[in-house]
């Protein structure tokens, strides 16, 4: 068995976000970093919210922790009061060295996994997440790449086969791995369309660009349109810039 991949599960714990059905089972083989966070407006000192809400939030997190542990995951947890939820998620991801973050949506038993592969960058982490979470299950994994015009079929095949090989190296049965190539559609739409037939989507986090500032991260957009859970594999932590 491979190492348990660390998966961040962020929940706005005081605003009714809870662990949806099927998610504990989905992450049964993971090391779950359970992040309960509460965003307070700038008028309020985070400590003020802590004084009032800590007990309630802790109670909920106890409950969720028990759910994950029952399913078989190992759990580590944080409760954070913050002005800036995204900063909290990013920091926790880095500090706990999480391979991926989960956008939690309900799911049934996981039988089909869609893995959206973008390029060679981050393939290693993608492989560790997929093999770690689904290696020991019966789920079938479909590696999906939406190719651009300049790409030849050979390029795509090399990319997808390379990932398939890695997964096999990590103990996955080749018969459970399929590859599939999409063409002629914007990557995002293609992924959302393809996702319909699957229980879970695993995809990479893209680089922040101007478009992502305007429209949000592609992963978020997929998560908005796809009703099941999305695992967003995080970029390799870059060297400290500060």
Contact residues for another protein, defined by CB under 8 A: 39-54, 58, 77-84, 87-88, 91, 242
Q: Which of residues 14 and 114 has its CB atom nearest to another protein in the complex? A: 14
Cβ burial 106-130 (10 Å sphere, 16+ → b, else e) = ebeebeebbbbbbeeebbebbbbbb
- CB-wise, 154 or 242, nearer to another protein? 242
CA distance 56 to 47: 15
Residues 6+ apart with CB under 8 A from 119: 159
Residue 208 Cβ vs another protein, minimum distance, rounded to whole Å: 18
Give the contacts of 105 (CB within 8 A, at least 6 positions apart).
20, 223, 226, 227, 228, 229, 230
**Least distance (Å) from another protein to the CB of residue 206?**
24
- Using the minimum distance from each CB to another protein, give the nearer residue, 48 or 120: 48
- The HSE-up count of residue 234 (CA atoms within 13 Å, CB side) is 23
Q: CB of residue 24 vs another protein: minimum separation in angstroms?
A: 20
Q: Which is nearer to another protein, 75 or 156 (CB)?
A: 75
- Two tokens, residue 87: 């900063």
How far apart are CB 125 and another protein at their closest, in Å?
24
* Cβ at position 77, least distance to another protein in Å: 6
Nearer to another protein, 82 or 140 (CB): 82
What is the DSSP secondary structure assignment for residue 40, as one 8-state letter? -
As given in the structure block, the two tokens for residue 97 are 């060295």
């Amino acid at each position: 068995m491979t190492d348990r991949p660390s998966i961040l599960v962020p929940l706005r714990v005081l605003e009714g976000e809870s662990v949806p059905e099927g998610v504990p089972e989905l992450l049964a083989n993971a090391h779950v970093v359970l992040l309960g966070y509460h965003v307070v407006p700038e008028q309020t000192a985070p400590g003020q919210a802590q004084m009032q809400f800590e007990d309630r939030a802790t109670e909920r997190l106890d409950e969720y922790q028990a759910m994950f542990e029952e399913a078989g995951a190992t759990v580590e947890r944080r409760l954070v009061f913050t002005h800036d939820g995204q900063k909290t998620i990013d920091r926790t991801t880095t500090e706990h060295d999480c391979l991926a973050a989960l956008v939690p949506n309900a799911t049934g038993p996981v039988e089909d996994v869609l893995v959206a592969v973008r390029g060679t960058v981050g393939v290693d982490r993608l492989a560790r997440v997929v093999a770690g979470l689904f290696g020991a299950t019966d789920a079938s994994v479909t590696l999906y790449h939406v190719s651009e015009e300049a790409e030849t079929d050979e390029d795509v095949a090399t990319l997808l086969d390379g990932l398939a090989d890695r997964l096999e190296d990590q103990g996955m049965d080749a018969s459970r791995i399929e590859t599939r190539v999409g063409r002629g559609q914007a990557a995002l739409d293609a992924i959302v369309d393809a996702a319909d037939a699957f229980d879970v989507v695993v995809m990479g986090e893209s680089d922040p660009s101007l478009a992502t500032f305007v429209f949000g991260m592609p992963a978020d957009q997929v998560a908005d349109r796809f009703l099941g859970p999305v695992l967003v594999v995080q970029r390799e932590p870059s060297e400290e810039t500060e």
